[in-house]
Amino acid sequence: MTISTRKEDPVSTTGTRTSPTVVDTTSPLKRFISAVGVQNISLILAIALVVAIIGLQNPLFFTVPNLRVIGTAIAIVGLLAVVQTIVIILGALDISVGSIAGLTSVTSAMIFTATSSAAIGALGAIAIGIACGLINGCIIVFGRVNPVIATLATLAAFKGVAQLISDGRAQGYTGADFFFVFLARGTFLGAPILIWVLVVVAVLAHVVLRYTTIGRNIYAVGGNNIASRLGGININRYIIGVYMITGAVAAIAGILITARTGSGQPVSGSEGLELQAITAAALGGAALKGGKGAIAGTILAVILLGVLTNGMTLLGVNTFWQNVAQGTLLVVAVVIQQLRSGERRIGIPG
């Protein structure tokens, strides 16, 4: 006689077979890491380390005025980094955002001077920013030009236009206007208005990317544009739309530059912002090949860059080294992405 040793599935008292209970044995620490993300935790630890080192070297770092300086400094870079993240997730890149910010800074001040209306100046600047984004998108879509080449060209073109209309000099004076002064020096709940502008834009971008069909389609296009096209997504419309949004947000950054400096700046205040935005997006986990990235990681990276730059200034480090640090961080971020992707590295036999 054979005796069966197979365990039967549990049966309830009513005769109905029930499924075995699945017990989650994942530790709370692992669940926390999974929820927050390894990339974000790494950035938080890096920020804490940099803050600790700088704070020990210079106690002025922790003063409220200096923290405000850091906050207002990262606001403009943060705006550009947020929209740069969206562009990168889409599988593209926008190197012209700094030039758009400079052009719209000049035009906002010049329109304000001509009309004596800050609202018209701001709206005019945003309209010009959208037009710049439309130009970028049309060059990429209809000219079939690589986004890097296209926006590298418009980087020079938009900067040239800003210098031509301003004769290479700061334009207008906005330091006495309530709207621009409020943007530059106003506070809400103890935080500068510039920070609140960044928070609003970042939250809107996060919600769109995470909870809407538009956001899911942006990830899909960046992840696999061929499959997205076959799935019925109008890729050209998304490319043009994202670049127009990028131009609008870059214009908001230009308006903030005008507010902070009290005049329209064709180059000063905007030059190099594109590199900082790309660096922050890459450090925050946005894959330069597209299809991956999150606004939260980008904001943490912006804070890290802001703290590092401010700390180097407080410690008297040569400003040239700040550029070296930013370039190094960008290289490190891209190398880490490549290693995580698991792809075969060029030149190394596998």
pLDDT, one tens digit for every residue, the chain (350 residues): 444 444 445 554 455 555 555 555 566 655 555 555 667 787 888 888 888 888 888 888 788 888 888 888 888 899 999 999 999 999 889 999 989 998 999 998 888 888 888 889 899 999 999 999 999 999 999 999 999 999 999 999 998 898 888 877 777 777 777 888 888 888 888 788 889 999 999 999 999 999 999 989 999 988 888 888 888 888 899 999 999 999 999 999 999 988 888 877 777 656 778 888 888 888 888 887 888 888 988 999 898 888 888 888 887 777 777 778 777 777 877 777 666 655 555 555 44
pLDDT, residue 270, reads 62
Q: Could you give the angle at the alpha carbon of 118 between the alpha carbons of 169 and 120, nearest 5°? A: 100
Bridge partners, residue 264, by sequence: 171
What would the pLDDT profile of 66-89 be if each residue is shown by its tens digit? Answer: 888 888 888 889 999 999 999 999
pLDDT, residue 325, reads 76
Q: Which fold is adopted by the domain 40-313+321-335?
A: ABC transporter involved in vitamin B12 uptake, BtuC (1.10.3470)
User: From CA 302, how far away is CA 73, in angstroms rounded?
Assistant: 10
Instruction: Answer whether 106's CB lies under 8 Å from 265's CB.
Output: yes
* Closest to 103 measured CA to CA, from 36, 165, 40: 165
Residues 6+ apart with CB under 8 A from 83: 94, 97, 205, 245, 246, 249, 250, 277
Burial class (CB in 10 A: 0-12, 13-18, 19+), 126: buried
Per the listing, tokens 């076959």 go with 230
pLDDT, residue 229, reads 84
pLDDT, residue 259, reads 87
pLDDT, residue 139, reads 94
pLDDT, residue 309, reads 83
Q: Return phi, psi of residue 264, to 5°.
A: -80, 130
Instruction: Answer whether 103's CB lies under 8 Å from 159's CB.
Output: yes
* Closest to 147 measured CA to CA, from 239, 274, 278: 239
